[in-house]
Amino acid sequence: MTTRSETKTTLAQLLTEIEHRNPAQPEFIQAVHEVLETLAPVIAARPEYAEPGLIERLCEPERQVLFRVPWQDDRGRVHVNRGFRVEFNSALGPYKGGLRFHPSVNLGVIKFLGFEQIFKNALTGLGIGGGKGGSDFQPHGRSDAEVMRFCQSFMTELHRHIGEHTDVPAGDIGVGGREIGYLFGQYRRITNRWEAGVLTGKGQGWGGSLIRPEATGYGNVLFAAAMLRQRGEDLEGRTAVVSGSGNVAIYTIEKLAALGANAVTCSDSSGYVVDEKGIDLELLKQIKEVERGRVDAYAERRGASARFVPGGRVWEVPADIALPSATQNELNDSDAAALIGNGVKVVSEGANMPTTPEAVRLFQQAGVAFGPGKAANAGGVAVSALEMAQNHARTSWTAARVEEELTHIMNDIHATCHDTAERYGAPGDYVTGANIAGFERVADAMLAQGVI
């Protein structure tokens, strides 16, 4: 039987090969490394996973689509952006994952997001594979007409590669209800089909699900609450720091308040706001969702309890709970040290891979409960899958039913990660638990389906 030491050596060699095959893709390599370094116990216990090149296939996308997206601005000038769709793994079901519109998007970022999505989607238990897509287009500052023209051009190519039984995109950074609407309209125009299940995150009047906008933030708070319960504690009366001010952050703040905790920060690329009384959710929604403004406007209008810190980092604010909800690698080892020094008890990732590997190790060494994004922020894709189910049945569920399903799914994910970590000798290590549990579900399906 292969020992764990021998398995670790084999996995390290495989990672070197993957790095060589994927140059200049640091985010993707980081995501692969984070998974592979936790798999030695399961590979040693179940050597059949190492036999048919399974891990090599798991780390190579089934399909990568790269295309140009020409569009015209309001002045008549033509711009050309790049569009991406990485269909990573469909062993458990159709590819499922969001579209991100942001200047930072490149193939390596989309591959990292798609790779993470494989395990996240597997943890939901809802029969969906992993994929991701997007463009280096920046919707912020563009008119509705410009965003519409871009989305129509983007979908003109993307429609060839998606479908409710093939690949089901959703929103992500820069892609909200407005963008999903334009994308769906163009898909319908080109295909002449009302195929509601081809996109999720739709408007509630035309195939969308209640609680979908709130789901990622709500789910992350539910996961954090489950980690606290595992320690015999709860959220009531806790102070929380939240990064970001988009969809995930807003509904993280909302759910914290509903469960008795108090979020005191939010942020964007210009800096952060700290509000001693707690974030005024209605004011934040007005500024970010209606006016599409910056968080400094929140401090100006909130009054004496709030102050704006330009260029600052929310992690310097003392809190019991930290919920990074903005973007990848936003919380580094220095931030982790500051949070630990201020007595943080729980860190739960609302964004995808927002915590650097060095910071994760510091949290684990300090005994902080750390919820990795592939588990903690799975609520969004879980409700997307519930939206697909509603579309298939041509029905609509009540908000209470969707939230009940979401709560059950997040508690089940927590239990799965916790129990898997214990089973493989890493009690309390949710990173190892999430990676191995997701891997086992995908790997078993891949073995059953043969070498494809």
What is the C-alpha to C-alpha distance for residues 364 and 270, in angstroms, rounded to an integer?
A: 30
Q: How far is CA 415 from CA 12, 124, 278, 360, in A?
A: 29, 12, 31, 20
Structure-token match 């927002």, residue found: 354
Q: How far is CA 203 from CA 196, 209, 312, 371, in A?
A: 11, 8, 35, 30
Given the residues 120, 132, 288, 345, select the one marked as catalytic.
132
Beta bridge partners of residue 131, listed in sequence order: 87
In 3-state terms, what secondary structure has residue 11? helix
Q: In terms of C-beta distances under 8 Å and separation of at least 24 residues, what long-range contacts does 19-28 make, across chains too?
A: 22/108, 22/111, 24/108, 25/107, 25/108, 25/111, 25/112, 26/108, 27/108, 27/109, 27/111, 27/112, 27/328, 27/329, 27/353, 28/108, 28/109, 28/111, 28/112, 28/115
345 labelled catalytic: no
Distance CA 216, CA 378 (A): 7
CA dihedral 295, 271, 111, 47 (to 10 degrees): -110
| φ, ψ (nearest 5 deg) of residue 239 | -100, 135
Residues forming the active site: 132
